Amino acid sequence: MKKNSSMTAHAILTLVWIVVALYLALIYTPNEANQGNVYRIMYLHVPTAWVALLAYFVIFLGSVGYLWKRSESADALALASGEVGFVFCSSVLITGPLWAKPIWGVWWAWDPRLTLTFVLWLLFVAYLLVRSFFINPGRAALLSAVVGIIGFVDVPIDYMSIRWWRTQHPQPVIMGGPDSGLPPKMLLALLVSIGAFMCLYFLLLRQGIALIRLRRETARLRRELAMG
């Protein structure tokens, strides 16, 4: 009962946070001087990108935990983060072209960050495919953990790409140096949006872990019944 109450409270907090973020993004903030209303896609695109990077970092942590101690909890954490992170990373790849077309005149540009985010999406796909390819749960967990750890190298490169290479993106709006940044209202809306999506991610992560445990317990009971 206590766990259900905690999940409900988390869900309510997430809903309220998202509503506040929507108000700030769509009503509170002014139009951008050069992009007009189109720039508001940023309040969806940037937070989902941050969460996608966070999700793969959690995969990395869970994978290390599984290889180190063969912890089923760590494996469940990594798998749930992979499933949720795939959705957020897909959102990045959808909103990116929607933002790029009216600004750059093309749906897709081989910008380093966009390309590295596409690579990250492929890593999510590879991780989930490995999980589903092997019938043996232990082997699937082991090989997917290896993929999760090796693939993590893309995350810091993706994050630092704007700083390391000349890209079509502007300078980072957070921790980007003295010449970067947003006006206060826009920055507030962006930070609240990032917080809302992170809260949503952790809610979905908790639910995903609970579902994975339920699936595993169901599979265990079926094996016991089959053995008589």
129 vs 4: CA distance, rounded Å: 31
Give Cβ neighbours of residue 75 (< 8 Å, ≥ 6 apart).
62, 65, 66, 141, 145
pLDDT for position 4: 78
pLDDT confidence of residue 53: 93
Instruction: Write the pLDDT tens digit of every residue in 60-84.
Output: 999 999 999 999 999 999 999 999 9
Q: Which residue from 93, 54, 31 is spatially nearest to 194, judged by alpha carbons?
A: 54
Provide the β-strand partners of residue 194: none
Q: What's the confidence (pLDDT) of residue 108?
A: 65
d(CA 96, CA 49): 10
Q: Are 84 and 208 in contact (CB under 8 A)?
A: yes
Residue ranges of the domains in the chain? 44-168+190-226
Quote the CA–CA distance of 216 and 205 in Å, as a whole number: 16
Which pTM value belongs to this model? 0.87
pLDDT digits 0-9 by tens, 12-23: 999 999 999 999
Mean pLDDT confidence for 128-139? 84
Higher pLDDT residue, 165 or 124?
124
Both structure tokens of 79: 């798998």
pLDDT digits (tens, 9 = 90+) for 192-223: 999 999 999 999 999 999 999 998 888 788 87
**Confidence check: pLDDT of 167 > 70:** no
Residues 6+ apart with CB under 8 A from 118: 93
